[in-house]
């Protein structure tokens, strides 16, 4: 009885909080049918926003994957002074409000910022331009790869790497053939979380972007602009598209585990 | 491959505590040496230093007369088996074994067929030919042990280092693998250094035993010598059950403090000393008398186990069972300990 009650409560909550909003977004997008919804996607500003999101996400994911691997390696394989502080600092972007993270970049690179005017003179635009959006996104999504890799690599220990070194493997061979494959599930998981977060980031990006349609608007920002301009169908169509992209990323997270499990067939 | 270690000293990170304290040892080519000692004695530390996994602050280490400074220089020449095997979980057994060949630079790497043949050969040598495509997670402890050994041997090293290789195995598998390892050592002409905390294992498998304590070598001898001539009371106790009788040397005799333990002649100088003896070396004098009551605890390996009650304690005494003699002894007048080794301040005196 108790278990049944919990089951019902869990599903009720999931439907109310997770599934309903998605369904409502889809319903709003399609309220005039497929045609008008697809028509809104032909808007050049919308397409620009889609490509900007893809671009920013790709760069953020690559940067944070490389940084995440390096940081996780350093944090788990060596003991050095300040290691614990570094572990805590890596999590900072998770706890700081995205708006604050955005403001930091404005303070540094904005027209009234510390380095802004100097860079502006050199012809480098960061605030209210794409580099700023990328910086803000990288900052916000920094912890995911590190945080998923560290516990697993900690648990792996050094033994397999030492075994590989004794067998003659060099640093890169150990990294590619032993460390990363051993931690691949955590790594893929971290990369996909980074992807999902980078695509959806609103707060930090909103502060540094300057909302220039067709130039510095990512999908979440563009959705807000559309909604505020009473273009409901367009806003919800783009929202549905973004939601689908995020959903696909989340589903991908589970695919590798499934693929790797099925590879080892018991005899 | 011969290994020579001279005045090797290693300190614990950021402290003055010595993990290895001035170790000098020579392992000639073809030797099977066991490093034994209690936990924290420095056995694994020494083994890792020989492998090149850890650097030592002082001393020199040469392999075949060369000081191979970096791990890269030693790669492929040394086979190392880790305590927990450290197999690569994401690779099949075959890929695990061929790892050392797969990572060779293109010019030196054997062809895929040669590698496959080598793997097959090793799997057969390890008596696990059917496991090539299995993943380590599916293997039993004994099988993992064999895969780890095959991986260590793939590059054809002449020095094999084993860190507590039998620790996680059950007693029967342990015994089989032990004997088989000894055969393998002889067959391949290896130099093998084995770390173990199990002195019985060491006595059975090795030609030479190095007993370590607190980062130092206490004794380095053949199993027979170690058994017959232990240098310190620690070695005596570490190698098997031993009974200590405190006493005094006087007029050429060792006189035990306890009543009903017979004095025996010795040539060492007068003063306090400890006589240590193994339970099966103690003899019963004037059986049938009741001064020292005996209680029996069953038998093993042809010895009947008794406990002899002295004034303050009970002493184990193992008496050989004569064929057909189910005669249980109930007491004696004296314990004869003339085969005891005498130690003074922990070191051998006679």
Q: Which of B88, B104, B132, B143 is most worth mutating to test chain A (most A CB atoms within 10 A of its CB)?
A: B88
Domain chopping of chain A, boundaries: 53-152+184-260
Q: Which residue of B has its CA nearest to A174?
A: B103
Q: pLDDT by residue (tens digit) across B120-131?
A: 999 988 888 899
Among A167, A170, A264, the residue with its CB nearest the CB of B99 is: A167
Neighbours of B323 (CB within 10 A): 6
In order, the DSSP letters of A47-112 are: HHHHHHHHHHHHHHHHHHHHHHHHHHHHHHH---TTHHHHHHHHTHHHHS-HHHHHHHHHHHHSTT
Instruction: Name which of A121-125, B61-65, B196-200, B225-229 the model is least confident about.
Output: A121-125
Q: What is the CATH number of domain B3-238?
A: 3.40.50.300
pLDDT at A10: 94
Q: Which pLDDT tens digits describe chain A residue by residue (267 residues)? A: 788 999 999 999 999 998 898 888 888 888 888 888 888 888 888 889 999 999 999 999 999 999 999 999 989 888 888 888 988 888 888 888 888 888 888 888 877 778 877 778 877 787 788 888 998 999 999 999 999 999 888 888 788 898 998 888 888 999 889 988 888 888 988 999 999 999 988 888 888 888 888 888 899 999 999 889 888 888 888 898 998 898 888 888 777 666 555 455 443
Q: Are A207 and A106 in contact (CB under 8 A)?
A: yes
Q: Indicate the residue of B78, B91, B104 with minimum beta-carbon distance to A166.
A: B78
State the pTM of this model: 0.79
pLDDT single digits (tens) B62-103: 888 777 777 777 777 889 999 888 999 889 999 999 999 998
Tell me which chain B residues have a C-beta less than 8 angstroms from the C-beta of A169.
Answer: 75, 99, 103
Chain A residues touching B47 at Cβ < 8 A = none
Alpha-carbon distance of B148 to B78, in angstroms, equals 13
Whether the predicted pLDDT of B252 surpasses 50:
yes
Which residues does chain B have within 8 Å of residue A170's beta carbon, measured at their own beta carbons? 72, 103
Tell me which residue of B118, B83, B84, B82 sits closest to B99, measured CA to CA.
Answer: B118
Residue B72 CB partners (closer than 8 Å, separation 6+): A168, A170
What distance in Å separates residue A222's CA from the closest CA in chain B?
44
Section B225-250 average pLDDT: 89
Q: Domain spanning A53-152+184-260: which superfamily?
A: MetI-like (1.10.3720.10)
Specify the 3-state DSSP secondary structure of B293. Answer: strand
Q: How far is CA B346 from CA B23, B216, B246, in A?
A: 20, 15, 12
> What would the DSSP string read from start to end of A92-106?
HHHHS-HHHHHHHHH
Q: Is the pLDDT of residue B306 over 80?
A: yes
Q: What is the pLDDT of residue A263?
A: 52
Give pLDDT, residue A53: 92
- In Å, how far is A164's CA from the nearest CA of chain B? 8
Q: What span, in angstroms and rounded, lies between the C-alpha atoms of A236 and A27? A: 9
Q: Which residues of chain A neighbour B151 with C-beta distances below 8 Å?
A: 163, 167
Give the sign of the dihedral formed by CA B312, CA B314, CA B320, CA B324. positive
The ranges assigned to domains in chain B are 3-238, 243-348
φ and ψ at residue B168, rounded to 5 degrees: -95, 10
Residue B196's DSSP bridge partners are: B36
- Using DSSP's 3-state secondary structure scheme, residue B258 falls into coil
Collapsing DSSP to helix, strand or coil, A130 comes out as helix
pLDDT band at B208 (very low <50, low <70, confident <90, very high): very high
- Which of A50, A60, A101 is closest to A195 using CA atoms? A60
Q: Which residues contact B344 (CB under 8 A, 6 or more apart)?
A: B268, B271, B272, B273, B274
The angle that helices B112-125 and B141-153 make with each other, rounded to 10 degrees, is 130
Residue-wise pLDDT for A177-227, tens only, equals 998 888 888 898 899 999 999 998 888 888 888 888 888 889 999 999 988
Give the model's pLDDT for residue A265. Answer: 44
Left if phi > 0, otherwise alpha if psi is -120 to 50, otherwise beta: which for B143? alpha
């Amino acid at each position: 009885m108790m278990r049944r009650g919990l089951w019902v409560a869990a599903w009720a909550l999931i439907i109310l909080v997770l599934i309903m909003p998605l369904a409502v977004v889809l319903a709003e997008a399609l309220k005039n049918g497929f045609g008008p919804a697809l028509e809104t996607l032909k808007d050049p500003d919308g397409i620009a926003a889609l490509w900007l999101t893809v671009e920013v996400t790709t760069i953020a994911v690559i940067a944070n994957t490389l940084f995440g691997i390096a940081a996780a390696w350093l944090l788990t394989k060596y003991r050095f002074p300040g290691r614990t502080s570094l572990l805590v600092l890596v999590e900072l972007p998770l706890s700081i409000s995205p708006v604050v993270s955005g403001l930091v970049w404005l303070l540094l690179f904005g027209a009234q910022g510390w380095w802004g005017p100097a860079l502006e003179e050199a012809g480098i635009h960061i605030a209210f331009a794409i580099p700023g959006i990328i910086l803000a996104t990288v900052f916000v999504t920094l912890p995911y790869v590190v945080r998923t890799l560290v516990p697993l690599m900690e648990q792996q220990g050094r033994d397999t790497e030492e075994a590989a070194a004794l067998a003659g493997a060099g640093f890169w061979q150990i990294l590619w053939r032993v460390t990363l494959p051993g931690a691949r599930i955590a790594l893929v998981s971290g990369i996909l979380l980074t992807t999902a977060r980078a695509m959806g980031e609103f707060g930090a990006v909103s502060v540094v972007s300057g909302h220039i349609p067709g130039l510095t608007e990512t999908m979440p920002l563009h959705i807000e602009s559309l909604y505020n301009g009473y273009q409901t169908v367009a806003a919800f169509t783009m929202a549905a598209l973004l939601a689908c992209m995020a959903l696909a990323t989340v589903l991908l997270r589970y695919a590798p585990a499934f693929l790797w499990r099925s590879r080892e067939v018991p005899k | 491959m011969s290994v020579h270690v001279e005045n090797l000293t290693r300190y614990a990170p950021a402290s003055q505590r010595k993990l290895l304290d001035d170790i000098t040892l020579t392992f000639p080519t073809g030797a099977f040496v066991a490093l034994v000692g209690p936990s924290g004695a420095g056995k694994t530390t020494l083994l890792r230093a020989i492998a090149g996994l850890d650097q030592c602050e002082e001393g020199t280490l040469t392999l075949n007369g060369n000081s191979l400074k970096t791990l890269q220089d030693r790669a492929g020449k040394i086979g190392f088996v880790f305590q927990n095997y450290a197999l690569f979980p994401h690779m099949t057994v075959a890929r695990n074994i061929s790892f050392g060949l797969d990572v060779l630079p293109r010019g030196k790497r054997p062809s895929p067929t040669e590698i496959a043949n080598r793997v097959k050969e090793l799997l057969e040598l390890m008596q696990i030919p059917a496991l090539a495509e299995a993943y380590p997670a599916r293997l039993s402890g004994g099988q993992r042990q064999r895969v780890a050994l095959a991986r260590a041997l793939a590059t054809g090293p002449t020095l094999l280092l084993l860190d507590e290789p039998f620790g996680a195995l059950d007693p029967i598998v342990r015994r089989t693998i032990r004997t088989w390892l000894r055969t393998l050592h002889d067959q391949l002409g290896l130099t093998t250094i084995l770390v173990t905390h199990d002195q019985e294992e060491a006595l059975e498998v090795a030609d030479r035993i190095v007993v370590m304590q607190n980062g130092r070598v206490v004794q380095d001898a053949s199993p027979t010598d170690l058994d017959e001539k232990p240098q310190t009371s620690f070695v005596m106790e570490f190698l098997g059950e031993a009974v200590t009788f405190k006493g005094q040397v006087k007029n050429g005799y060792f006189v035990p403090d306890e009543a009903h333990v017979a004095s025996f002649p010795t040539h060492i100088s007068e003063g306090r000393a400890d006589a240590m003896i193994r339970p099966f070396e103690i003899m019963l004098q004037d059986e049938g008398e009741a001064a020292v009551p005996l209680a029996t605890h069953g038998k093993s390996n042809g010895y009947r186990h008794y406990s002899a009650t002295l004034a303050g304690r009970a002493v184990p005494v193992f008496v050989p069972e004569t064929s057909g003699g189910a005669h249980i002894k109930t007491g004696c007048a004296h314990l004869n300990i003339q085969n005891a080794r005498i130690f003074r301040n922990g070191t051998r005196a006679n």
